[in-house]
Amino acid sequence: MPKKSITIALAGNPNSGKSTIFNNLTGTRQKVGNWPGVTVEKKEGHLKTNGYDLAVVDLPGTYSLTAYSIEEIVARNFILDEKPDVVVDIIDASNLERNLYLATQLRELDTKVIFVLNMADLARERGVKIDADKLSELLDVPVVFTVGNRNQGTRELLKMIISVAEAEIDLPRTRRVYYGKDIEKAVGELSEFIREKTSAELPYHIRWAAIKLLENDGIVKERILQSANPQGEAILQEAKLKRQRLRDFFDEEPEIVMTDHRYGFIAGIVKEVVKTVSRQRVDVSRQIDQVLTNRLLGLPIFVFFIWAMFQLTFSLGAYPMDWIDAGVGWLGEGAGRILPEGLFADLIVDGVIAGVGSVAIFLPNILILFFCIALFEDTGYMARAAFLMDKVMHLIGLHGKSFIPMLMGFGCNAPAIMATRTLESEKDRILTILINPLMSCAARLPVYILLAGAFFGAKAGNVIFSIYALGIVLAISIGRLFRSTLLRGKVAPFVMELPPYRVPMFKGLVIHMWDRSKIFLKKIGGVILIGSVIVWFLSAFPKQVQFSRDYQAEIAGISDHYGSLISAAHGDLRETLLRKRDEAISALEILQATEKVEKSYIGRLGKVLAPVFAPIGMDWRGSVAVLTGFVAKEIVVSTMGVLYAVGADEDEKSEALKVALKESGMTPLSAYAMMAFVLIYVPCLATVAVIRRETNSWKWAAFSIAYSTVLAWVVAFVIYQGGKAIGLVQSSPSLCI
């Protein structure tokens, strides 16, 4: 009976070309998500061939299968628990020895394994020839050659997968690592002990379980305890005893001795299968690094690349951004015209289209940014960037790889936080995510431009720069603080491979870019949609407001008053009167709109919160503005436009709004305090949604909101009250920063 559906797990070292093979196998029919419970990316693809339905699961790239990192645990658990029909191990042929370390561990799991020798062409160029038949014979595993980036060997691999999946192979196999007399004896005895103690099925093959127990593997210990109850305790006790004895004997941890033996076993195989031709060709990758990580040129070139990335993202992205902006406007107008006037139309136009549109506009930026990041990753430059910047990031208690996400934060925090996936250590990732919103994103700039422009005149540029600097200083201090309290622990060791440079494949880059952008669109779209509707509801309701004046009547009165004058007037006078009438009406309308917001739920909320904001120099209007800024920070500006009675269409360049702000009693000091508050307080809705997603926990998302808001208040308080105390209260724009 042929099996019709086959599950394949792709395993392999990082940089072994695994994702290229995955792309070759599955094409674009991929599903990207997370492994349950962790934030490790899970890629799954499907293909049909010869009547078979193949599900290909891309395991995280790992060097080993110890329980050292989440990636390793995820990979191992998938093979053990989900029992894929075939495990395909992608081996970088030009780096055989280290890649075989994972291979020997996969063999020990006693599943059906195929070895794929990838990039054998590169190996041959380096003068390394591998005898595949010999390797296959020595390890009793089928071996296939592929050249991933030229899509060679994919068909052979597929054929092999099917034949291995269908074949009846006796497991366990015999050709396995021999750990030396003493350890083998302990493994044998412990296996026997486990067999005696447990009648029920163990989740693992017994020899493997014994080996892992001797290696003191936490996860296996826990599983044994659960499944072998009530004998689990006894088994662990026995294992501990044996471990102790081995440690005394070797004067070394048993797992270290076993690692030694595995490499010893590998060295034996390598000696048999590899023929090194002494014709050493020029190592191109090394020569590129002579320049790119050069002591003098390395950093300037890095800075240039980053600059180029931002240029591309924001100047090239500006065009499609305008199109989307226009499209959203057009859509809103169209919907407004088609839909019958009323609540539903308001909800669609002001709530849904405006809200979702304000986020969709970032899509071009995100696509370009992710394309650049994919380019850095797929060429191998990302590892060099981490190599160059590690010393700097280490000062904050972070890994060199954290630099890129931090830098991206100046553009937009949402994709920046998604970029933290390149970090291996969970703690590093969370820390980077938490301090990322302190990198002042582009959406906050309009707020600074408005306030600094209104209150600091010619010094606006310096003032805005100081706000950015404040963010960086805070990120460093908060980073250090969290590292020494909440996320205590050593910075992840910097054992990072610097893989050879590779020419990226366009298809791979696009898949890479699209996978991440899709997440942004899907998930953020949902949350943003809900959030926008909520804010719209709070500011549009209650629908019936008890106004302090009868605006309609007053407007009608003005119309009447001017109406008769206008009909009697001619020429210039008529024009003047018409203008005056419109001005008077729109002034009243704005007053009405302001009063309406004041009496809406969000206005009432602002008034309730006003005492909280008073010590930092903000009145209720400021409070409402920052509340609405939670959806997206640039909304702060348009809300202030409404509240300071100049209309909602105001942007940061509006002179009227600047004048209104100055007349409202705001001072340069309170403006500066407000800028600092806007810099620091709750990241926008999109960012919170991404934090939730990337940390896989509402707890961290809530923590991020809480800590940033408290910090924002404290900093603004210090600025405002401190400034007042030293006498910076005058409202003239002469305040020096």
Partner 1 sequence: MDLSELKEGQTATVVRVGGDGPFRRRLLEMGFLRGTEVYIEKYAPLRDPIELILKGYHVSLRVDEAARIEVENVRG
Chain contacts with partner 1 (rule: CB under 8 A): 63-64, 66, 68, 94-95, 97-98, 101, 255-256, 259-260, 263, 286, 289, 293-296, 298-299, 383, 387-388, 390-392, 394, 400, 493-500
How many Å apart are CA 592 and CA 613, to the nearest integer? Answer: 25
How many Å apart are CA 732 and CA 403, to the nearest integer? Answer: 40
Closer residue to partner 1, CB minimum distance, 27 or 127: 127
Alpha-carbon separation of residue 621 from 399, 605, 729 (angstroms): 42, 11, 20
Coil vs helix vs strand at 2: coil
453: nearest Cα among 674, 654, 730? 654
Least gap, CB of 386 to partner 1 (angstroms) = 8
How many Å apart are CA 387 and CA 459, to the nearest integer? Answer: 38
How many Å apart are CA 566 and CA 581, to the nearest integer? Answer: 9
User: How many other C-beta atoms can be found within 10 angstroms of the C-beta atom of residue 613?
Assistant: 23
Closer residue to partner 1, CB minimum distance, 496 or 555: 496
Closer residue to partner 1, CB minimum distance, 383 or 701: 383
Closer residue to partner 1, CB minimum distance, 305 or 468: 305
Closer residue to partner 1, CB minimum distance, 343 or 392: 392
Least gap, CB of 176 to partner 1 (angstroms) = 18
Closer residue to partner 1, CB minimum distance, 357 or 499: 499
Least gap, CB of 63 to partner 1 (angstroms) = 6
Closer residue to partner 1, CB minimum distance, 64 or 654: 64
81: nearest Cα among 103, 59, 48, 64? 59
Strands 5-12 vs 30-34: parallel, antiparallel or unpaired: unpaired
Angle between helical axes of 698-725 and 460-484 (0-180°, round to 10): 130
How many Å apart are CA 14 and CA 569, to the nearest integer? Answer: 82
Closer residue to partner 1, CB minimum distance, 292 or 660: 292
CB 92 within 8 A of CB 127: no
Least gap, CB of 68 to partner 1 (angstroms) = 6
Coil vs helix vs strand at 495: coil
User: How many other C-beta atoms can be found within 10 angstroms of the C-beta atom of residue 460?
Assistant: 18
Closer residue to partner 1, CB minimum distance, 490 or 570: 490
Q: What is the CA radius of gyration of the chain?
A: 32
Least gap, CB of 500 to partner 1 (angstroms) = 8
Least gap, CB of 119 to partner 1 (angstroms) = 13
Least gap, CB of 293 to partner 1 (angstroms) = 7
Least gap, CB of 720 to partner 1 (angstroms) = 39
Least gap, CB of 499 to partner 1 (angstroms) = 8
Least gap, CB of 62 to partner 1 (angstroms) = 10
Q: Per-residue DSSP letters for 270-331?
A: HHHHEEE-S-----HHHHHHHHHT-TTTHHHHHHHHHHHHHHIIIIIHHHHHHHHHHHHHHH
User: How many other C-beta atoms can be found within 10 angstroms of the C-beta atom of residue 444?
Assistant: 25
In eight-state DSSP terms, residue 1 is -
Closer residue to partner 1, CB minimum distance, 263 or 703: 263
